Amino acid sequence: MGEPQLLASGGTEVDLFVLGPWIAGLSVAISVLGALVGFACIVHSVRSARFRLVWLTAAAVSIGGIGIWLATSVTLLGLDVSSTVLRYDLAYQIAALVVAFAAVLIGLLLLGRSFRLPLLLAGGLVMGLGTATTLYLTLGSISVQGKVDISPWPAALAAVVAVLVCGGALWSFQALRGRPARAASTLLFGLGIAGVYYLGLSALEFEVDPTATAPDGMELFDFVFPMFVVGLLSLTIPISAVLIAPDRRALAATAPAPRPDLEPAR
């Protein structure tokens, strides 16, 4: 174990990177990948009328399920609290996943096809508050030999940052054009989600009693690893759809002009 990264109440040592700093990089990479696929699905939803809801659902799975929920859950693998066994409540984890998906889907539906500031603010607010709720459901799943509390001010700050990150991501998608700009937006989204997580984690206060009975629940790896595999495999569906879906603007540009109606010969 490396040097503890946080000292919780009562002198309990909390290490955020027990597996090494690479776990934070993995979390950012997962978040960026989910956002990248999700934004590509949003592009196709704007150009499609018949399958718009399908594209937005795929985007919600990619951004909410992978880019937000899975990224923060993977980061929890680096958490270690001294003198206690860590266990996680499966119901909280599933609820966090559902909230992440629903918040992104509702936010994208509110966003609409074109830039309108009121809709952008509404979509960013719903998506950001959903991200904050996902975070605290995930953190609320943690059980120790003792007690876990959440300090309100760091929690509120994390919620504000989540709204700013999600609102900024939606704004950049509508306002910026070009692959470099979109790549920068997805990178900032991944870094922002990681920042929200660590702000939320700083709100946790542990009171450990080593003599207490080990808490109920499951080990995080037993749940997150299968979800990690399933989540990444599920991305193959929207990725394949994005790759094979026709670019409607290109088709419109290359389609032959309609032939004029000719009067019948006299």
Cα(63)–Cα(218) distance, rounded to whole angstroms?
Answer: 26
Q: Domain of 208?
A: 6-247
Q: Is residue 69 one of the residues assigned to a domain?
A: yes
Q: Is residue 239 one of the residues assigned to a domain?
A: yes
Q: Is residue 255 one of the residues assigned to a domain?
A: no
Tokens 């000719």 locate to 262
pTM comes to 0.84
Tens digit of pLDDT at every position of the chain (266 positions): 444 454 444 567 888 888 888 988 999 999 999 999 998 888 888 877 788 898 899 999 999 999 999 998 888 888 888 888 899 999 999 999 999 999 999 999 998 777 788 999 999 999 999 999 999 899 889 998 888 888 888 889 999 999 999 999 889 888 877 778 788 888 889 999 999 988 888 888 888 888 888 888 888 888 888 887 887 777 777 777 777 765 544 444 444 444 444 444 44
Q: Is residue 133 one of the residues assigned to a domain?
A: yes
Q: Is residue 82 one of the residues assigned to a domain?
A: yes
What are the CB-based long-range contacts (under 8 Å, 24+) for 19-27?
Answer: 19/77, 19/78, 20/78, 23/74, 23/75, 23/77, 23/78, 24/75, 24/78, 24/194, 26/74, 27/71, 27/72, 27/74, 27/75, 27/193, 27/194, 27/197
Number of domains in the chain: 1
